[in-house]
Each structure stands twice: as C-alpha cells, then as structure tokens.
Structure 1
Amino acid sequence: MDWSKTKTIFIIVFSILNVLLYSLFLNRNADIGNVEVMGQASMEEVLKQENISYKLPPFVDKEASFVSADVVDFNKESLKDLKGQRTKIVSNNLLKSTITDKITLDEANDDDFKTFLSQYVLNGKEYVLWNVVKDEHKAFFFQQFDGRPIYYSPSAMLVITWGEDEHIQSYEQRMLKDFANFNKKDLLSPLDIIGSLASRGLLKQNSEVTDVKMGYSTLVRLTETQVFAPTWDVQVKLENGEKEHHFLSANEGKVIEFQLNGEDEKVADEEQSE
C-alpha cells in the first residue's frame, strides 16, 4: 500500500467534509451571520444618497468551485536551476533567497516584476503583484490559481525586499501545488456584493467602486492541505484618492477580514539547506 498517497487522499476527504459541515452551519445560521443582500432598487437609492458610483465587470461565470491544494516542501533538487542568488530552506516550506545579481527596483518593477519573477523565482509566473510598500522596501505577491489570486494566504505568498540603494536584496516564498476543484456553487453577482457592503455602511461617501474581481480565501487550513473558497475583491477609490479593498464570500456575501500579524508571520529558525 502506498501510505503517502492514502494519507493525502484521507486529508482531502477530511477537508471536503469540513467544508460541507461549515456550509451546513452557515445555512442554519443565515439569519444571524449572513450579510444582508439588498434589492436593486433600495441599493441604488442608498448609493445615490451617499454619492457612491460604481463600475461593474460582466457577470459571466455565475458558478465557482472550492479549491484544495497541498503545501510545497522545498528541496535542493527543485532549486538547482535558480541562478544569481543564494537560497536556504526554513522549516521545509519557506524559501529564503539572497539575490547576488545587481538588479535595481526600477528594472524589476518595469513590468510589475514579471520578468524578475520568471528569471529568479521558482514557478514565478504563478505569482501576481499585489502591493508595493516603498517605505518598508517591500513588494507583496499572491500565488494564483486559474488566473485568480489567493488572497493573503501565508502558504501562497512571495515578498521581495530591496535596500536603500533600491537594489533587490532578497525574497521569501511559500507555495502551493496540486490544485483541485470541487463542490461548485452559485455566486452572488458583483451588484449583490456591492449591495452587501452598502447595507453595512462599509462604502464611504463620495467614493467609487472601480472593480470587482474574483479570487480565493482560506476556508480550511491543515498541515499539508489547504482549502479555499471563492471570494470577491471589491476595489474602491475614496474621495481623497486612496484605495480600499473589501473582501466578501462569493457564495454568501460574508465580509472577510484578513489577519496579517501573529502566528502567520512567525518563522522557525531551523535551516535545512544553504
């Protein structure tokens, strides 16, 4: 018997069971936990009163599946083709790299880091730029599945760092593999999602909803396997020009808040290769 394969199958089945039980819990408590989705007429009235404009993408894909994936454990063999850098593996699933080639921030960011990712990062084409924080000298990236980002998953993020001279210094990477779709469900439309935000007073006066995009957020996190739920990202431009993101469950309209501090940011000191 292939115990490793059997164990993986068991973990996936257990994850699916967790999802089904979680969905049953939400359905039974919908009158308490679910965000109210407003009717179109009342929603438009509220948005007009608050002077909130919006641009919506076509609502083409009206269903989406949950997704499972396995956490990647890096090894020396998988890193052998990475050039212009020194790498080390921390606690199996965190890759730390120090860039030895001379690359400026302007050169790397010329095309949203796409060329840099393809040349220096393992499976770099799977990552998409999310945010550049210049005062912290960091750029944050999310891994994608089927062209959709996995929002703020510690297991699917890449962070690039540069120095005061604006030369790329290093990056830290975590990655997922063996993605699989299951349990397809109907989606709330972008218009419904905006109504959910408006009903809770989360859209500020004189703002503009510039886009609504589909991605995934963590639903179940096990040691080796992760399960992700379809998630809408509502992008809003405020009156002062600043931008906000609101994340909601694409199936139920529940607001999702991501925690970026604490355990997710802790890294073990054990180094396995260099």
Structure 2
Amino acid sequence: MDWAKVKTILIVIFLILNVFLFITNLYTDYDLGFQSDYARYAIKYLESRKIRIDTKIPDRTNQLGTLVYIDKDLDFTYLTRFVFGHEILASTTGDSVFIAEGIQAIKLSDDELTLVDKITYDGSGATDPDSFLKEAYIYLEGLGYRKKDLLLQSQIDDENGKTIIFNLKYKDYVLFDKTIVLTLDTGGMISATIPAIEGKSISSTTKDILSPYQILVMSEIPGGSVINSVYLGYKHIHEGELYAIPVWRVTLADGTIFFFNAYTGEEL
C-alpha cells in the first residue's frame, strides 16, 4: 500500500473520530444542561414547600449495579494478638467463635464480630471533645479500617461512657446497614461491634438511578424541613440477602432519616 492511500485512510479515520467526539460532547452537554435545569426547578419546588437544603447535593451517578456481600476473612491469630497480646486458641461451636481471657473477649456470632478490650485511654481529663474519636480511628486502623473507609454517624457521651457509631464504606458508597459501634466505659473497657461480612464487588449489570433532586421532589419529606445531608450508598432490602441495592439517604436537621430506593424512588 502506497503512502497516499495510507494518508487518505488516516484522514478518514481522523474525521470519523472527530464526528464521534462532537456527537458525544453534544449529548453530554445536553444531559448536563438538563440536569442543571432540573436542579433549579427542583430547588424552586422545595422552596415553595419551605424545605431548605443545607448541604452540598452530590453529583448524579447515572447507573449502578447491586453490591454483592461475602463473609469477611477473619484472622483470629491476629485478632487474639491484637486484643490479648498473644495467641489463644479459639473455642468454636458451629459458625460461632468465643475466646476469652479475664475481662477481655472475642466473639463471633450471627455475622457480627464483637471485641471486648482494655485500652489505656479512659477519657478522664480530656479537654478535646474529639479525643475519643481520634482514639477510635487509631484503634480501628489496627483492625484494618482506614479513616476513608468510615463515615461518622453519631457520637454519644453520657454518665456511662462514650459511644461512637460509624457507617462502613465500599469505595465511595456508604453501607447504610453495615455499622461499627465502639463503646468506651468509664473504666477504660472498649467494646467494638463489627460486621463479619463485607462488600466484594458491584454487579456489572447496571440500571439507571434517580438523581438526588428527583428523589427530593418525589419524596414526602415534611414541609418546613431542613436537609442536612444527602448520601448515595447501599442497603439490604430483605434481611439475609447477600446483595444490597443503591439507596439515597436523606438526613434532616432534627435527626430524621429517610431512605429511598435509588432505582424507583420508593421510600424504604
């Protein structure tokens, strides 16, 4: 093949590619413009119902698949060293595991891992209100959880001690029914309750999901509400299922939480 023919073919390919990119950008710009217009109309509609948005609304994700869960691979050799300082053989009954030494313990049952541990931090004399939160991040890092894997849900401080609840995350998505609960009593005993299952992968079979503005317009959120946060994540619909569907969570200023099926907009 001579150079003239090669050059002609390359020019044709270049022109086809440019046409393809032009059409793609045209549709992308149209979609972004539509989303922007819909967002403006949605905000006006919510304002007409005296509903105020006091948070950044996440960017739209067009399609998502379901999230598949698997049993977490637990290393009890490491866990016993982490809690007791040395290895201890586990006592097992079926799927349950129980290991104890003094007041410290490790228990696995019903897809839940519980650690009862003694730590040097007891919160006494702490002037930083987030001191236990910082300690919690350090403790969980020792169990393989990075700060970016966690979303702080709540902190409770009363006469019995301190409690922190985190939602786990899979990549950028919050797992709304997978929580880690850390409780510290006044004697320095910490109890950690951790899910024994974890996200494995998001199904390659995807479906369109509704935008957060579509969810807010379709919802029955009471008039006069203030929206404090909007998150996209995953949640089980039926107990015991090994997969979860995409869900929008809307939290109001008064603490009320709404969950909406991201595929249909149905309130869960």
Do they superpose with TM above 0.5?
yes
Pick the aligned partner of 2:244 from 209, 216, 228.
228
Q: CA deviation at 1:87?
A: 3.5
Q: CA deviation at 1:172?
A: 1.8
The residue aligned with 1:246 is: 258
Q: Does residue 47 of structure 1 match 2:46?
A: yes
Q: Does residue 94 of structure 1 match 2:107?
A: no
Rounded Cα–Cα distance in structure 2 between residues aligned with 1:100 and 1:58: 40
Rounded Cα–Cα distance in structure 2 between residues aligned with 1:77 and 1:93: 19
Aligned partner of residue 210 in structure 2, secondary structure? coil
RMSD: 3.0
The residue aligned with 1:107 is: 131
Structure 1 residue runs of 4 or more that deviate by more than 6 Å after TM superposition: 39-42
> What amino acid is aligned across from residue 249 of structure 1 in structure 2?
N
> What amino acid is aligned across from residue 255 of structure 1 in structure 2?
E
> What amino acid is aligned across from residue 203 of structure 1 in structure 2?
P
Q: Does residue 214 of structure 1 match 2:213?
A: no
Aligned residues: 201
Rounded Cα–Cα distance in structure 2 between residues aligned with 1:110 and 1:77: 26
Structure 1 contact 216–230 (Cα < 8 Å) conserved = yes
Structure 2 contact 248–259 (Cα < 8 Å) conserved = yes
The residue aligned with 1:146 is: 171
The residue aligned with 1:131 is: 154
Q: How does 1:1-20 map to 2 (within 5 A)?
A: none
> What amino acid is aligned across from residue 132 of structure 2 in structure 1?
A
Aligned partner of residue 256 in structure 2, secondary structure? strand
Rounded Cα–Cα distance in structure 1 between residues aligned with 2:63 and 2:202: 12
Pair 128,47 (structure 1): closer, same or farther in 2 beyond 3 Å: closer
Pair 181,212 (structure 1): closer, same or farther in 2 beyond 3 Å: same
The residue aligned with 1:170 is: 191
Q: How many percent of aligned residue pairs carry the same amino acid?
A: 16
Structure 1 contact 108–115 (Cα < 8 Å) conserved = no
Larger RCO of the pair (alpha carbons < 8 Å, separation 6+): 1
Structure 2 contact 58–231 (Cα < 8 Å) conserved = no
Pair 187,102 (structure 1): closer, same or farther in 2 beyond 3 Å: same
Pair member with larger Rg: 2
Q: CA deviation at 1:133?
A: 2.6
Q: How does 1:153-192 map to 2 (within 5 A)?
A: 156-164=178-186, 167-177=188-198, 179-182=200-203, 183-192=205-214
Rounded Cα–Cα distance in structure 1 between residues aligned with 2:39 and 2:167: 33
| TM-score, normalised by the number of residues in structure 2 | 0.63
Q: Does residue 116 of structure 1 match 2:134?
A: no
Rounded Cα–Cα distance in structure 2 between residues aligned with 1:93 and 1:208: 36
Q: CA deviation at 1:103?
A: 1.6
Q: Deviations for 1:133-161, whole angstroms, at most 9, x for unmatched residues?
A: 33474222222111322112xxx332111
> What amino acid is aligned across from residue 68 of structure 2 in structure 1?
S
Aligned partner of residue 214 in structure 2, secondary structure? helix
Rounded Cα–Cα distance in structure 2 between residues aligned with 1:98 and 1:138: 14
Gap runs ≥5 in structure 1: 1-38, 257-274
Aligned partner of residue 82 in structure 1, secondary structure? helix
Pair 203,91 (structure 1): closer, same or farther in 2 beyond 3 Å: same
Gap runs ≥5 in structure 2: 1-37, 86-103, 124-129
The residue aligned with 1:14 is: none
